[in-house]
Amino acid sequence: MSYPWEDWDHITKIDPDKDLVDGETFEDVCETGTDALEIGGTLDITEEKMERVIEATAKYDVPIYQEPSNPGVVIDDDRLDGYLIPTVFNASDSFWITGAHKEWVRIEDGLDWDRTHTEAYIVMNPDSSVAEYTEADTDQSAEDVASFARVAEKMFGQKIIYVEYSGTYGDPEKVAAAHDALDESTLFYGGGIHDYDSAYEMGQHSDVVIVGNLLHDKGVDAVRETVEGAKDASAELVDAE
């Protein structure tokens, strides 16, 4: 079975609690060349904020996925291509491994399993909101990260492994270790991507590069630069095979 993200190089994550740069629109975001939009955030997320972004982006030809931070903000909307559900493998609080997911299944009548996919998060920045929120053990060596990635793929059947450095640029050695540990799963990388070079470097060590804060802080031209970097890295890797 194939999955859409196997053909992606770049995702733009939109935080519904944050504004776009003055003068920019969601149409501008969709014209950056990014392969998909992921709508989600950690703090102060509501259904109304989620719905606002879905409404603004659904008219454009870019796949839209919701990444809910908790079961209470999941939006049932046919315009979504699906749901990407984090499960934080290095969380100290089990609620973020399976607890929140159990609650979603309990309260949701007729969950759309065909459009619901999990992301095996490995959270690496101790100062990030997601690390504090999930009580993640971020003190992980390259070998540890590789082992988490392999456990996620081989023992838990995860199709997406997500090395998350939210708010800071990660260690390429640790990202590469995760990538090298995988056979078929897709490696997402997010954290500190801010220009062509950073996207290009992490694009060499992961399958999909994700930008988020950059969109809200610097705007669509900066995002477009990272799209180019990620796609150039991907193309170079294909040529080398």
- pLDDT, tens digit, for every residue of 94-103? 999 999 899 8
Domain assignment present for residue 129? The answer is yes
Give the distance, in angstroms, between the CA of residue 70 and the centroid of all CA atoms in the same chain.
15
Q: What does the alpha-carbon distance between residue 179 and residue 134 come to, in Å, rounded to a whole number?
A: 24
Determine if residue 213 is labeled as part of a ligand binding site.
Answer: yes
Q: What does the alpha-carbon distance between residue 46 and residue 181 come to, in Å, rounded to a whole number?
A: 36
Contacts of 106 (CB under 8 A, 6+ apart): none
Determine if residue 13 is labeled as part of a ligand binding site.
Answer: yes
Determine if residue 65 is labeled as part of a ligand binding site.
Answer: no
Q: Name the average pLDDT for the chain.
A: 93
194 has pLDDT over 90: yes
Predicted TM-score (pTM) of the model is 0.94
Q: Is the dihedral of CA 191, 196, 202, 208 positive or negative?
A: positive
Determine if residue 82 is labeled as part of a ligand binding site.
Answer: no
Mean pLDDT of 215-235: 97
The residue type of 98 is T
Determine if residue 83 is labeled as part of a ligand binding site.
Answer: no
Determine if residue 157 is labeled as part of a ligand binding site.
Answer: no
Q: What does the alpha-carbon distance between residue 66 and residue 50 come to, in Å, rounded to a whole number?
A: 8
CATH number of the domain encompassing residue 12: 3.20.20.390
pLDDT value, residue 111 = 82
pLDDT-based confidence at residue 230 (cuts at 50, 70, 90): very high
Domain assignment present for residue 92? The answer is yes
Taking only the tens place, the pLDDT of each residue in 165-190 is 998 999 999 999 999 999 999 999 99
The residue type of 219 is G
Mean pLDDT of 23-37: 97
241 has pLDDT over 70: no
Q: What does the alpha-carbon distance between residue 184 and residue 90 come to, in Å, rounded to a whole number?
A: 21
Q: What does the alpha-carbon distance between residue 114 and residue 93 come to, in Å, rounded to a whole number?
A: 28
The residue type of 114 is D
**137-141, 218-222, 234-238, range with the lowest pLDDT:** 234-238
Domain assignment present for residue 2? The answer is no
**What is the number of structural domains in the chain?**
1
Determine if residue 162 is labeled as part of a ligand binding site.
Answer: yes
**105-119, 160-174, 184-198, range with the lowest pLDDT:** 105-119
202 has pLDDT over 70: yes
Residue 123: both structure tokens together = 């959270």
pLDDT value, residue 75 = 83
Determine if residue 94 is labeled as part of a ligand binding site.
Answer: no
Determine if residue 42 is labeled as part of a ligand binding site.
Answer: yes
Domain assignment present for residue 178? The answer is yes
Q: What does the alpha-carbon distance between residue 124 and residue 140 come to, in Å, rounded to a whole number?
A: 7
Taking only the tens place, the pLDDT of each residue in 45-89 is 788 888 999 999 999 999 999 998 777 778 888 999 999 999 999
Could you tell me the residue range of the domain that residue 138 belongs to?
7-240
What angle, rounded to 10 degrees, do the helices at 220-240 and 196-203 form? Answer: 30
Determine if residue 189 is labeled as part of a ligand binding site.
Answer: no
Helices (H), the chain: 26-30, 47-57, 99-107, 129-134, 142-150, 172-181, 196-203, 213-217, 220-240
Residue 176: both structure tokens together = 């590469």
% of the chain with per-residue pLDDT over 70? 98
Domain assignment present for residue 1? The answer is no
pLDDT value, residue 179 = 98
